[in-house]
Structure 1
Amino acid sequence: MGVGKGTTARAFAKKYGVYNIDTDDLIESKENKEVKKIFAKKGEAYFRQCEQQTADWIEKCVKGTLISCGGGFYKVGNIDKLGTVVLLEASFEWIHKRLKTAKNAKAKLAKRPLFSKEKEAKRLYNEREKAYLKVADVIVNVENKSLDEVIAEIARKCKV
């Protein structure tokens, strides 16, 4: 959460002329609700079901597209069939600072329902870190790097 997946994906797609879709955007469109409202009204378990349905659709219907995934998407059962998984890695402290100091910090934090309580967010980060590393094909540390540097490293590691 908050590492810059969406920003990086959009910039990468533009630079390399590929399509980019965001799994959270797909879910919001299908449900006609923002992620935070889905969590509030139907709960996390329901949202995770939506993620799996989205992964199943991607596996069947989407090819040659960059897919930006929500922070919990690593749990989908078929992630290994969707393509190369690129993990944008950063420390919790760096992510937290990034979100708190962004121009639109209030909106960025509000969009992430699981980040609303710092201690809980830190626990979740620690819980997910090992799982992320297990599913990642490529790991790119983004701390103190420009967006262009991150994109170049992804392209080099993915042999684009």
Structure 2
Amino acid sequence: MKNNIILIGFMGVGKGTTARAFARKYGIYNIDTDDLIESKENRSIPKIFKKKGEAYFRKLEKETADWIECCVEDTLISCGGGFYKVGNLKRLGYVVLLYASFDWIYHRLSSAKNAKKKLAKRPLFSDPKAAKKLYDEREKAYRKVADLVVKVEGKSMEKILEEIASVLPRK
């Protein structure tokens, strides 16, 4: 297994926020799989879904996972909500699930200062019932692939970072 930290979890749980805070505190690089895909395609995730469909997007996730496996080391990687399905996930690094209830995630997104932008970036949240159904489907699958589950609901960022760091191999 590579010496990367792979953050997975449902969209809006705070993977990107946590990754940036962790990278700042521990002085490691941080990349985001959705950002990599958007950069490669030169368009946003919602536009990729709209123009090319979900199957094409999942193919891009697999290509991104293959690149990470080949070329990325000592990095914290925050992943899109469906990235856990890539077949080589466990070879990419130590998989950390950031977990919170659906209601907490929805409230976090809808009450943020830039709520409109946060919700627009996650097109599946345009239908909260469908998003909840997807959350319920993914929750068990996330736990199956995770090496560590960190509940983020009701915790300070400092506590979340400590929980992630406590299980990492020391160099």
Structure 2: runs of 5 or more not aligned: 1-10
**Richer in helix (by share):** 1
Report the 3-state secondary structure (helix = DSSP H, G, I; strand = E; otherwise coil) of the residue aligned with 2:113. coil
Structure 2 residue 42 is matched with structure 1 residue 32: yes
Q: Which residue of 1 aligns with 2:20?
A: 10
Report the 3-state secondary structure (helix = DSSP H, G, I; strand = E; otherwise coil) of the residue aligned with 1:85. strand
* TM-score normalised by length of structure 1: 0.98
The farther-off stretch of 149-158 and 68-77 is: 149-158
**Counterpart among 117, 123, 132 of residue 122 in structure 1:** 132
Q: Which residue of 2 aligns with 1:73?
A: 83
Q: Which residue of 1 aligns with 2:144?
A: 134
Correspondence list, 1:137-156, <5 A:
137-156=147-166
> How far is 1:9 from its partner?
0.3
Q: How many Å separate the matches in 1 of 2:139 and 2:168? A: 21
Number of aligned positions between the proteins: 160
Q: How many Å separate the matches in 2 of 1:151 and 1:9? A: 9
Q: How many Å separate the matches in 2 of 1:96 and 1:154? A: 23
> How far is 1:158 from its partner?
2.6
**Counterpart among 24, 28, 31 of residue 21 in structure 1:** 31
Structure 1: runs of 5 or more not aligned: none
> How far is 1:23 from its partner?
0.2
Q: How many Å separate the matches in 1 of 2:58 and 2:126? A: 19
- What letter is aligned with 1:85? V
Identity rate of aligned residues, in percent? Answer: 71
> How far is 1:157 from its partner?
2.8
Q: How many Å separate the matches in 1 of 2:163 and 2:169? A: 10
Q: How many Å separate the matches in 1 of 2:139 and 2:55? A: 20
Q: Which residue of 2 aligns with 1:57?
A: 67
Q: How many Å separate the matches in 2 of 1:158 and 1:92? A: 28
Deviating above 6 A after TM superposition, structure 1's stretches of 4 or more consecutive aligned residues are: none
Q: Indicate the RMSD between aligned Cα atoms, in angstroms.
A: 0.9
Report the 3-state secondary structure (helix = DSSP H, G, I; strand = E; otherwise coil) of the residue aligned with 1:21. strand
- What letter is aligned with 1:22? D
